[in-house]
Amino acid sequence: MKFYKEHYDVIIMGAGLAGLSAALQLQARGITDILILEKHNLPGGLATSYVRNGIEIEATLHEMMSIGSKQDRLKVGTFFDEMGIDIDWLKVPEAYRFIEKTKKIDITLHSGFRTMSDEIDAQYPGWGDKVYDFMNLCNRVYNSMNILSVTPMSKPEMLRKHPDFVKTVGYSAKQVMDTFKFPQDIVDILTPYWIYVGNPMSSLPFTIYAFLMADYFRGGSYVCRNFSHEMSMKLQAKVEENGAQIEFRQEVEKILVRNRKVYGVRTKRGDEIFSDYVISAAYPNKVYTQMIEPLSEVPVEAIKMVNARKLSVCPVSVMMVLDGTPEELGIRDYNVFSGDTMDTDKIWENYHTLGPYGYLTSICLNLANPGCTPEGYTQFSITALPLVDPFLNVKETEYHALKRRLASEMIANYEETTGVNLHDHIVEIEVETPVTVAHYVGAWKGSIYGYSHSLDDHAVARLQMKEEDHFIEGLEFAGAHSISGNGMGPAVTNGRAAAKGVLDSRKEQKEDYRLVSGYMKLADMLNRRKGADK
């Protein structure tokens, strides 16, 4: 029985947002002979949902960045529009409410640079304009980043056209923010999003922080009316409509390599399928230490690279369906960040343990998407984003007890912070950990955030070192582990970048081929002429 063709132009491992976006980008450039192999029986990777007793529950998506309003579309929103993908986006009501319990900071910020500066000014009079300046700096860096990631330019030109970007690249978020001399409270208020790129402010590149702040506060973020499964399904449907073959429940076990060049894959069930190009959603750690066949094709530089890089944070999420409307339950906020401290170095220490976790983010999905549950229920989640390290030694027999302990601590913490009673209203509850992620999507060590954004693994450096990070011809990576890093918006960008890698390489080869065939024609002509001469 043959389930596959012998050969495809491109094989994509993983039907997550990155893999599907890679396929769309390839198709837009005329490559349609694509096979996508997905481990799970659903598209979207973590952008998915599940159903418990008839209620659909969002699996991960807090909010989608880089979409923008119809009037001010941002990068990912524009791409979806261009690809003809029409998602029913709902804007989230506020950026966040931030509660710092020790200093008793309690403030809610909405999107719009002016709006949020005014909200800070109302509590800290006189500081609004400076916050506004700071946000505009973030926005300039954001715009530059979006241009420079696709348009290479010389250093002098870059300095002339993108001075703020150039001048802040080498500094941490803390270093740049310090130059504004904000009172500590305002620093704290501007910090909560740091965890979405997982590294303390003292080592988080300002570039990444600025990107995040500008993107989230410029036009606000969005959720899909029918959960992130809507986005995944619509991407999949378009990719299939454009002619790609997608097969679920197919985990790729080996990537076949000869002379440092990809020639195919082998699935867990044993199918060998050939292609000159493979785009991998699997982490480089796994690819270079388990999947390349034979492993002798892996250069030592690739091993040194994956060993040197540090994995970013992973999720511990408590997902609940509660009986009662948000109003009845007293839940007023869509998104709350809360903790005893906003010292990110201290939170980082806490995130190197198995809890109890102090710094939490909570989402009440109904307040962005009132129809997400049947009438009279609320969908609510609490998340901490610790490092994977403390989970590495968890034993099978301890696992369920650990999950329950972490969940009850997080619920109690939220209840104490907000005075809302959750535990008496739980109808459904699921606890997600790095182990859950590993189970469903197979991500390396359950990591959802790829490699840590740090000053010694800076996105700008990643971009500059693109060629030297490339070890196997025809093998591209698309996932949180690639250049733009983690998040569902960046996942799309990462997928498109991987497609570009394939397209550039094919172009080179075509040119090689043209060159060769040119020579052949010339030789042929000369031969014929020789014949004629005779």
Partner 1 sequence: MKIESFLKDVGGASRVTSARREKFRKGSPLPEPEDPIRALSDALHPDKMRFIVTDVRDVSPTSKTWRLRSTDGHIPIFQSGQYVCFHLQIGDSVLNRPYSISSAPFESKCDNPFIEVTIRRNRPYFVPDYFFDHVKVGEVLWGSMPFGTFYYEPLRDSKNVVAIAGGSGITPFLSMAREIAAGWLDVNLTIIYGSVHSSDIVCGRELDEIDRKCDKVRVVHVMSDDPDWQGEKGFVNREIIEKYSGEDTTYMFCGPYAMYTFVEKIMKEMGVPAGRFRKDAIAQPDVSLIPGYPSDKKEEVYTIKVMRGIHEDIIQAAASEPVAVAVERAGIALDTHCRGGECGMCRSQLLEGEIFVSPIGDGRRRMDKELGWFHACSAYPMSDLVIKIPIL
Q: Which of residues 176-195 bind partner 1 (CB under 8 A)?
A: 176, 179
Stretch that binds partner 1, among 89-97, 212-220, 391-399, 485-493 (CB under 8 A): 391-399
Q: Judged by CB under 8 A, which of 124, 132, 171, 274 binds partner 1?
A: 171
Q: Judged by CB under 8 A, which of 386, 434, 489, 490 binds partner 1?
A: 434
CA distance 358 to 341: 8
- Joined tokens for residue 192: 């909560």
- Binding flag, residue 414, partner 1 (CB under 8 A): no
Max CA pair span of the chain: 100
Q: Which is nearer to partner 1, 279 or 306 (CB)?
A: 306
Q: Judged by CB under 8 A, which of 462, 470, 473, 500 binds partner 1?
A: 462
Give the count of alpha carbons within 13 A of 464, CB side only: 10
HEC string of 210-263 equals HHHHHHHHHHCCEEECCHHHHHHHHHHHHHHHCCCEEECCCCEEEEEEECCEEE
- Binding flag, residue 354, partner 1 (CB under 8 A): no
- Lookup result for tokens 């696992």: 399
HEC string of 383-434 equals EECCCCHHHHHCCHHHHHHHHHHHHHHHHHHHHHHHCCCCHHHEEEEEEECH
Q: Judged by CB under 8 A, which of 130, 461, 470, 500 binds partner 1?
A: 461
Q: Which is nearer to partner 1, 307 or 517 (CB)?
A: 307
Query: Among candidates 292, 275, 280, which has minimal Cα distance to 31?
Result: 275
Q: Which of residues 74-103 bind partner 1 (CB under 8 A)?
A: none
Q: To the nearest whole angstrom, how small is the minimum distance from the Cβ of residue 439 to partner 1?
A: 4
Q: Which is nearer to partner 1, 97 or 458 (CB)?
A: 458
- Binding flag, residue 49, partner 1 (CB under 8 A): yes
- Binding flag, residue 509, partner 1 (CB under 8 A): no
Q: Judged by CB under 8 A, which of 226, 325, 341, 417 binds partner 1?
A: 226
- Binding flag, residue 166, partner 1 (CB under 8 A): yes
Q: At what angle do helices 206-219 and 128-148 cross, to 10 degrees?
A: 110
Q: Which of residues 268-327 bind partner 1 (CB under 8 A)?
A: 269, 271, 285-286, 288-290, 295, 298, 300-301, 303-309, 323
- Lookup result for tokens 């025809």: 474
Residues 185, 124 contacting (CB under 8 angstroms): yes
Residues 6+ apart with CB under 8 A from 209: 138, 173, 193, 194, 197, 201
CA distance 127 to 421: 36
Stretch that binds partner 1, among 74-82, 164-172, 255-263, 413-421 (CB under 8 A): 164-172
- Binding flag, residue 258, partner 1 (CB under 8 A): no
- Binding flag, residue 56, partner 1 (CB under 8 A): yes
Q: Judged by CB under 8 A, which of 41, 151, 259, 296 binds partner 1?
A: 41
- Binding flag, residue 458, partner 1 (CB under 8 A): yes
Q: To the nearest whole angstrom, how small is the minimum distance from the Cβ of residue 406 to partner 1?
A: 11
DSSP letter at 64? B
